[in-house]
Structure 1
Amino acid sequence: MRQFSASPIEMCVSLWRNRELIHASTKREVLGRYRGSALGIMWSFFNPLFMLAVYTFVFSEVFNSRWGSGGDSKTNFALVLFIGLIVFNLFAECINRAPCLILSNQNYVKKVIFPLEILPFISLLTAFYHAMISLLVWLISYTLLIGIPHATVLYLPLIILPLGFFIMGLSWVLASLGVYLRDVSQIAGLLISALMFMTPIFYPITALPENYRKILYFNPMTLVVEQSRDILFWGKTPDFSMMGIYWLVTITMAFLGFLWFQKTRKGFADVL
């Protein structure tokens, strides 16, 4: 039986070794989503624009929500809200797809030698593409409505990269579990829906009592959303001490997820 290395070096080497395959597959995923539509890939621009308008109307007009601390206007509320949605949707899209990544590519398991470990990375890059389009929409909107974005926007990679590590680690675990336990996709969907409202996307974390704020920080998405808002909208520098811990935790999570995937993949063909 073929042995699969689970070392941290192999985790990085595999992605580099298969970079051309990853690029081609990601491109196919992005273009395939809009194949046959009249506007084609332009939908990746119009979708976030439409969602920004919808969420702004619902929360600022129907619920009369206000952010406070400089986010009192409807314009500011929409921009603050949209940052949280961009970050969370990047996470949610990958995690929702993860349990079915192997199941939906059974031919790669049974018929050909294919580096299955790159499938979660392809999913991440596809979601990352759409997140960057949404971020572009946000930056254009901010420039037109408020002015030149803060220079602290350059800190964004320091926040998004560890989120990518966390997504990869969790995706490897869920992709593996999805082969052996088909209920995982349903469970993941439910947890993502709950996590969305347990993340300070539609409300500031300061709106909660102090005791609940501490609990909310156990949610791995809370720090990412809060730090993203700080650098993009408020023009604050990141909390480097917290981000240092977050980098360490997410890299560890990525390695543990890869380790789990490599150790369990030997049974994929038998189950499928």
Structure 2
Amino acid sequence: MKPHFFSRSAGYVALWRTLVQQDLAVKYRGTLLGRAWPLLMPLMLLAIYGFVFGAVFRARWPGLAEGDHLGFALNLFLGLLVHGVLAESVGQAPSLFQRNSNFVRKIVFPLPVLVAVPLGSALFHMLLGVLLVALVNAIWGTGWQWQSLALPLILAPYVLMLYGISLVFAALGVYLRDLVQIVTVLVMLVLFTGTVFYPRTMVPSVFASIVGANPISWPTDALRGALLNGQWPGVMPLVVYGFVALLVLLFGALVFRALRPGFADVL
């Protein structure tokens, strides 16, 4: 039983990796620069943010020096990268099975693997952006931070939480077509109530619980601390966030399993 379980799990991982590669290939197929776009896009975005908020608005990130426009751009860019994974994975979940109804009708196809494909593509783009931030910060910022090695510890619970949320929305989206519009609003709400455009220290105490409960706030803060400030993630916040992520994943799996039998009939 155990060898069969591990071999089946390995097969699912291999299938997921293949689907993610195909998804990435389709996105850039026919473009002039092809596979260079995943590297060029975060570089251009970082340059734009640096120019707009640094040279034009001359914005200042709390805790940084008056003229540290690069620090502002890097802090902002990291927050947008974290939110981008949620926007790309959770945002596609409600319409995922409607766009891939042929997979739903195949009884032997593991649909949970299909739910994880947008998450894998989004994670790939995010990692390229994070590597760019680390490189720019090492050359022109505060230098290379060895605490950046904590990246897997930070991303693992975040990915588990997003996968659990995606399972719920993907299952519900089969029955509730309006969920696409609702999730679009929720994604924007998460953007502005998370610590993307501001640090947690700026949040008034009356809104602190809302910002703290936002699923992107802790990973954003932890990434900034590790990559830019040389701070290891706090053990207790990591444990709490990881525990909540596991609960969300379990809930998502249960909802998906309960609603899965009716997918083919509705689609």
Shorter-chain TM-score tier: over 0.9
What's the counterpart of residue 22 of structure 1?
Answer: 16
What's the counterpart of residue 225 of structure 2?
Answer: 230
Q: 1:214 to 1:255 in 2, by over 3 A?
A: closer
Q: 1:177 to 1:258 in 2, by over 3 A?
A: same
Cα distance per residue 1:119-165 (max 9 Å; x no partner):
12122111111111111211221122125421110111111100011
1-side partners of 2:65 and 2:170: how far apart? Answer: 39
Q: 1:25 to 1:215 in 2, by over 3 A?
A: closer
Q: 1:263 to 1:14 in 2, by over 3 A?
A: farther
TM-score (norm 1): 0.91
The alignment status of 1:203 with 2:198, answered yes or no, reads: yes
Superposition map of 1:210-229 within 5 A: 210-229=205-224
What's the counterpart of residue 48 of structure 1?
Answer: 42
Q: 1:242 to 1:58 in 2, by over 3 A?
A: same
2-side partners of 1:249 and 1:15: how far apart? Answer: 24
Q: 1:60 to 1:100 in 2, by over 3 A?
A: same
Superposition map of 1:1-272 within 5 A: 15-70=9-64, 72=66, 73-111=68-106, 113-146=108-141, 148-272=143-267
Q: CA deviation at 1:14?
A: 6.0
Q: CA deviation at 1:113?
A: 2.7
2-side partners of 1:215 and 1:239: how far apart? Answer: 20
Q: Percent identity?
A: 34
**Which amino acid is the alignment partner of residue 205 of structure 1?**
R
Does the 8 A contact of 2:28 with 2:35 survive in 1?
yes
Segments of structure 1 that go 5 or more residues without pairing to the other structure are: 1-9
Secondary structure of the 2:60 match is: coil
Q: CA deviation at 1:269?
A: 0.6
Q: CA deviation at 1:63?
A: 3.4
2-side partners of 1:162 and 1:113: how far apart? Answer: 29
1-side partners of 2:80 and 2:14: how far apart? Answer: 31
**Which amino acid is the alignment partner of residue 124 of structure 2?**
Y
Segments of structure 2 that go 5 or more residues without pairing to the other structure are: none
**Which amino acid is the alignment partner of residue 161 of structure 2?**
F
1-side partners of 2:163 and 2:187: how far apart? Answer: 16
Quick check: 145-154 or 238-247, which moved more? Answer: 145-154
1-side partners of 2:130 and 2:203: how far apart? Answer: 27
Q: 1:109 to 1:148 in 2, by over 3 A?
A: same
Q: CA deviation at 1:86?
A: 1.3
Bigger relative contact order, structure 1 or 2 (CA pairs below 8 A, ≥6 apart): 1
Aligned length: 262
Once superposed, what is the RMSD of the aligned Cα atoms?
1.8
Q: 1:71 to 1:268 in 2, by over 3 A?
A: farther
Moved over 4 A (4+): 12-15
2-side partners of 1:13 and 1:183: how far apart? Answer: 38
